[in-house]
Amino acid sequence: MDLYRLGAWQLRELLKKREVSPLEVVKALLQRIKEKDGRINAFLTVDEEGALEQARRSEALIQDVEQYPLAGVPVGIKDVLVTWGLRTTAGSRMLENFVPPYDATAVKRLKEAGAIIIGKLNMDEFAMGSSNENSAFGPVHNPYDLQRVPGGSSGGSAAAVAAGLVPVALGSDTGGSIRQPAAFCGIVGLKPTYGRVSRFGLIAFASSLDQVGPMTRNVRDAALLYRVISGHDPADSTSAQLPPHDVLDVVENSQSLKGLKIAVPWKELEGADEIVKDRFERVVETLRSLGAEVGEVEMPSFRYAVAVYYIIAPSEASSNLARYDGVKYGLRIEGEDLVDTYFKTRGRGFGREVKRRIMLGTYALSAGYYDAYYLKAQRVRTLIKQDFENVFAEHDLVIMPTSPTPAFKIGEKIQDPLTMYLNDIFTIPANLAGVPAISLPCGFSPEGLPVGFQFMGPLFKEDVLFAAAAAYEKARGEYFNRVAEI
């Protein structure tokens, strides 16, 4: 039995029946990482000793499914979530040797559920990127084609799950950073409603946009991780006053989509290439065959989403990243005086894309430009939110492709920031409005590259997302639970 091919739910069943031990599972995945990750570069840190010790301890927990729903299940963590005693870099030289003294709330909840943290996953530096080429520790390679990107910024998480290095992983989504790599790597990726999952311990990029979510090979695993990490956290002032959200019954019982009204903003999909459009049209046909009513709507503010995002997100980044000054923690390059220390530390510690976004944000917030750029962007953000509200007054969900193209080649767009930014054109609206969205695989290009689409739902209606996602998975199961052959 190839244990690396199994998802979290399948592993949990085998563990409960004592057909396999947590130690066997961890050893199998560590071996898989040793054999394959040299070509993928998904992991920045593998905690081999820690994972084996966690596996030994979890032996006593696996029968208590209610208290420890993830007992014995290995999980990979995007390296933007702090982990107690385990190096956390955010993909940057600035934090290359940073070892946090506490766990992020999402990580803590995984551990409390019995999960085994096997290591930290590569990412675009400080989550800024759409290709995972901006990591200070080298690009991640797409396991379906090693010459192509896995998407970003959670590219390491997506590639690790797709390649069978871990059954499930956590990522973060600021403008599509869970969903776009999920689409490029043929897996499931959920961006919950803003506030549904705690951001405490998530190294901040853009605080009004960032959200933590699961990346898995099937919908049931995504629901399992989502249940564990969701719920109110008093340590996060933006956390919603809601309990953990259990959607497993919804996933198990969802069959038909009869009565569900789904909206498609067709006019906003003109940027998608023909392969993506074709696969998306097949999705629409499938949803109609399941009983859903699919109709066209207009969401005119969507066309401004990329421009709005690349004012708001860099503005928040310029504020959040001011803490990296070479004084408190992280990299420090001594200068002749304090100002020179700042220049040298930040000059060497930050990569090109991070510097670009800090400069963009600082400019947008500067005196004389705040009203013209940042304030206007916030007003248009409100219009995007209103577009969603208007559509959800008469529809249950919105669907769009996740990315306008399948995965592109490494190096193809890295020198053209504008072209790179346009990769997020379909994912950014959900972040600006704070609504939940889930990306699902929907086929392959003629070159064998995965293609994805996304459901977007009303605030805090993840149960509707999961119901639709589960029904689609049951109808098109051939796209799910796949492990890339490398």
Residue in the block written with tokens 């919804």 = 250
Give CA–CA dist 362/317, Å, rounded.
9
Three-state SS for 309?
Answer: helix
Q: Is 443 left (phi over 0), alpha (psi -120 to 50) or beta?
A: left
How far apart are the two ends of the chain, measured CA to CA in Å? 18
- Three-state DSSP string of 374-411: HHHHHHHHHHHHHHHHHHHCCCCEEEEECCCCCCCECC
CA atoms within 13 A on the CB side of 257: 29
Give CA–CA dist 165/310, Å, rounded.
33
**Closest residue by Cα to residue 259 from 467, 475, 452, 442:** 467
Three-state SS for 32?
Answer: helix
Contact (Cβ atoms closer than 8 angstroms) between residue 89 and residue 124: no
**Closest residue by Cα to residue 353 from 96, 180, 130:** 130
Looking only at the bridges linking them, the beta strands covering 450-456 and 397-401 are antiparallel
Output the pTM of the full model: 0.96
pLDDT digit string, tens, across residues 180-209: 999 999 999 999 999 999 999 999 999 999
User: Which residue stretches of the chain have pLDDT < 50?
Assistant: none
pLDDT the model gives residue 368: 86
Tell me the C-alpha to C-alpha distance, in Å, between residue 204 and each of 200, 321, 331: 9, 8, 17
Contact (Cβ atoms closer than 8 angstroms) between residue 145 and residue 448: yes
Contact (Cβ atoms closer than 8 angstroms) between residue 213 and residue 182: no
Give CA–CA dist 150/336, Å, rounded.
42
Contact (Cβ atoms closer than 8 angstroms) between residue 441 and residue 188: yes
Q: Who's near 115: CB < 8 A, 6+ residues apart?
A: 70, 71, 73, 74, 75, 228
Give CA–CA dist 225/75, Å, rounded.
10
Contact (Cβ atoms closer than 8 angstroms) between residue 122 and residue 135: yes
pLDDT the model gives residue 399: 98
Give CA–CA dist 452/442, Å, rounded.
5
Query: Token pair of 138, please?
Result: 């080298």
Contact (Cβ atoms closer than 8 angstroms) between residue 305 and residue 428: yes
Query: Residue ranges of the alpha helices (H) in 290-337?
Result: 305-320
pLDDT the model gives residue 16: 95
Which residues form the catalytic set?
78, 153, 177
CA atoms within 13 A on the CB side of 55: 22
Contact (Cβ atoms closer than 8 angstroms) between residue 354 and residue 125: yes
* Domains parsed from the chain with CATH numbers: 3-262+393-479 (3.90.1300.10)
What are 168's strand-pairing partners? 75, 216
pLDDT digit string, tens, across residues 341-355: 999 999 999 999 999
pLDDT the model gives residue 1: 77
- Asked if omega into 153 is within 30° of 0 (cis), the reply is yes
What are 117's strand-pairing partners? 75
Give CA–CA dist 465/103, Å, rounded.
29
Buried b (16+ CB within 10 A) or exposed e, 337-373: eeeebbebbbeebbbebbbebbebbbebbeeeeeeeb
Query: Token pair of 25, please?
Result: 């599972």
Three-state SS for 223?
Answer: helix
Query: Token pair of 203, please?
Result: 């190294």
Residue in the block written with tokens 């046909």 = 285
pLDDT digit string, tens, across residues 1-48: 799 999 999 999 999 999 999 999 999 999 999 999 999 999 999 999
pLDDT the model gives residue 340: 94
**Closest residue by Cα to residue 204 from 77, 317, 345:** 317
